[in-house]
Chains A and B, each alone.
Chain A
């Protein structure tokens, strides 16, 4: 198990280095210049001399290879540089938004898992009964309704029914948990519905497959209680693909909630990502890509380790 874990961790390094190289060069071929957006984006009459001076100040006049070496040294030393838009450290910019995005992702995951596991299990156990049909309707709704639209409906309903909206500015959970949850529970609900639907369908189909396996039949033939057959033998194995889905969805929620964040006016990682792309803020985009790539490889590592826990064959390979 130790060797397996070390192997997986070592594999993360070339993956992240590859991402660092790729994102650096991809951004350099995209047209656009942050200085132009900054100084002329609102119609300002700015001399070319001013534009060049600002490019020099931000280090954009340096040749690519120099910029690349600086970037790679920064990645190796965990210094992601300064945002060219706000001129504050990239890490600081991301940290400010990460708490909110992580919290929405965690709340949505809790919501999704708490509902999806029993729902998917019941639907599989009572296949083709009204319970199964109800679950199918709910999950198809969850998959087909875009989260941002569901979010808009939530907001408009709150407004129409109670003439009330959740707080518009973020309060940390450490400062005021009630205010924090009052704001974040709604976006978590909006994205959690889709998340829950995906996971529930996966658990249902996976459990149906497992329930037809020989070892389940053997367990039943041996007289094992049905509850134990389901919880210890069937569900444990059926959860493996669901864990992958839950893990990947969780990572997606960190940086992928762009429109939902806009609907709820959340100051999250997704909005920051879109803004940095719109402004050609290379350093911030690079930092964000590394952050999200980092989350992906970490969550994947977690999933791989969980696989090894649930499936002994993997750790003995």
Chain B
């Protein structure tokens, strides 16, 4: 027993040394990092975007007030903020800014720039899109008592506000640029980030070079970088294998991982972690028979998530079974509680018997419907095929309709779907984001079940204002229980992130979100 423990301790130390050893090496300056970006952004404005394509493009050029410390995720740390204080009643946030920060055009950063940025985020002028308008609706006023201090006074408590200040989408823009043209960040880059913009060749690549005046001394390590758009997975894999790109930071499928490992052996590093993404099953509650909770519940109870996760994780990016919060994260529902909720039982035989009974009781024992899905192979197609098979086992016949994103969204927005595979894409685990999709459709247009539930809305609002973490957690549980009992929509499985990087790429931190940690400031090449 003792020797086993010793062996385990030694193994643990060796692993820790191996993993940490790379980080402990002295970073080398210089070199060019070529990496793949599997989508191209339409514009450069972080405030108007929700896609990683914009962040993988723009993050190296910009700074944010706070950011997530990926080594201690979800802890936040300062970026432009040197320090900050939060009022005990959560009604004001005071940030002290770093001194000597300059925009790439040479203008000094002041608190006015932070104010102008957040004013644009919470109240975008005409012709400007801010997809975070609702997120910052609780901010009352922004004050700038001196050039290096900015104070946010709240209209209402928002328990997740600090995390929202760390959102990677809140790129800080220069006040003078916004005053001249509020829409300028769409087409022109002027940030305070570790790299300065060199060129964007549409359809080909974006490149940046080291910002020699970066406020974090000694950073960045790289001379320059090139983000190459590789829209097709095969081209991206070839490029990785051939060394034309050294990393793909979003994530690849298990099959792609296996191909790279087989071909490249120890030249490639694979990092894996659960992902802040999930696929959802959404029943259109405005369509019969899905207005009947028994039908919805029966369909959820027929799904063997635990078995499905084992099979699907081998062929797709789907893996973890979880509720509305990412499994493994601080507010996630533990497995012991999860299995008691409809749709999560491990006794699938019993669960399916109950599902058949419910369908019979609802008068639709031989239910037929159409499942709307997105025509993206990974992981939408395997998820659709899996669901059809699960529902077939309780006598339900399903037609699988996959369409391009435009048609898919249009169908769901118009409420023309019966059942749909929807998705939830978050950048952090905080419930203020994770739960928002399930609010009444009048508040959350992205609620594809089109449900209206005042009880859920109230639970959400209460949890947003709750300062005690334990009480907040209890409200999240109550929200989840209500949601799954009513069976409007439910996560099918959570995604699993697999990131390949060449072994020479150092200093990049893996995280549960592909939207975080992409400023490349601390990335260096060991060559």
Contact = CB atoms under 8 A, between A and B. Distances in A.
B273 interface: no
Given A40-B446, A278-B404, A32 B129 contact: no
Interface in A26-53: 30-34, 36-48, 50-51, 53
Contact of A31 (B129, B201, B228, B407): B407
A265 B232 contact: yes
Interface string B388-413: 00000000000000001111011101
Contact of A57 (B127, B134, B226, B437): B127
B52 interface: yes
Interface string B438-469: 00000011100000000000000000000000
B108 to A, nearest CB: 30
A164 interface: yes
A193 interface: no
Contact of B202 (A96, A263, A265): A96
Interface string B238-282: 110110110000000000000000000000000000000000000
A86 B425 contact: no
Interface in B196-250: 201-205, 226, 228-232, 234-236, 238-239, 241-242, 244-245
Contact of A264 (B50, B131, B226, B235): B235
B130 interface: yes
Contacts of A265: 228, 230-232, 235-236, 239
A41 B244 contact: no
A262 B231 contact: yes
B424 interface: yes
Interface in A268-284: 271-272, 275, 277-280
B203 A31 contact: no
B133 interface: yes
A115 interface: no
Nearest to A33: B410
Contact of B134 (A33, A45, A170, A278): A45
A128 interface: no
Interface in A159-184: 159, 163-165, 167-170
Contact of B133 (A47, A152, A167): A47
Contacts of A264: 235
A79 interface: no
A93 B231 CA distance: 17
Contacts of B42: 38, 85-87
Nearest to A168: B244
Which of A32, A96, A152 lies at the interface centre, i.e. has the most chain B CB atoms within 10 A of its CB? A32
B473 interface: no
A32 B407 contact: yes
Contacts of A156: 238
A32 B409 contact: yes
B218 to A, nearest CB: 30
Given A38-B42, A43-B424, A169 B50 contact: no
Contacts of B48: 39
B270 to A, nearest CB: 19
A125 interface: no
A31 B406 contact: yes
A185 B50 CA distance: 38
A45 B432 CA distance: 12
Contact of A50 (B131, B204, B231): B131
A38 B245 CA distance: 27
Interface string A95-109: 011000000000000
Given A152-B234, A159-B238, A42 B50 contact: yes
Which of B48, B229, B234 lies at the interface centre, i.e. has the most chain A CB atoms within 10 A of its CB? B234
Contacts of B43: 86-87
B61 interface: no
Interface string A10-36: 000000000000000000001111101
Contacts of B50: 39-44, 46
Contacts of B201: 96, 169-170, 267
A168 B229 CA distance: 9
B482 interface: no
Given A86-B202, A165-B238, A278 B230 contact: no
A40 B133 contact: no
Contacts of A262: 231-232, 234-235
18 contacts: A32-B407, A33-B409, A33-B410, A36-B413, A37-B405, A43-B50, A44-B51, A46-B50, A46-B131, A50-B129, A86-B42, A86-B43, A93-B202, A96-B203, A155-B238, A164-B242, A168-B235, A169-B226
Question: 3 tightest A-B contacts by CB?
Answer: A32-B406, A44-B50, A43-B425
Given A33-B410, A41-B405, A265-B235, 15 more contacts: A36-B410, A40-B446, A42-B425, A43-B423, A44-B446, A45-B436, A46-B50, A54-B129, A87-B42, A96-B202, A152-B234, A159-B238, A278-B404, A278-B406, A279-B405
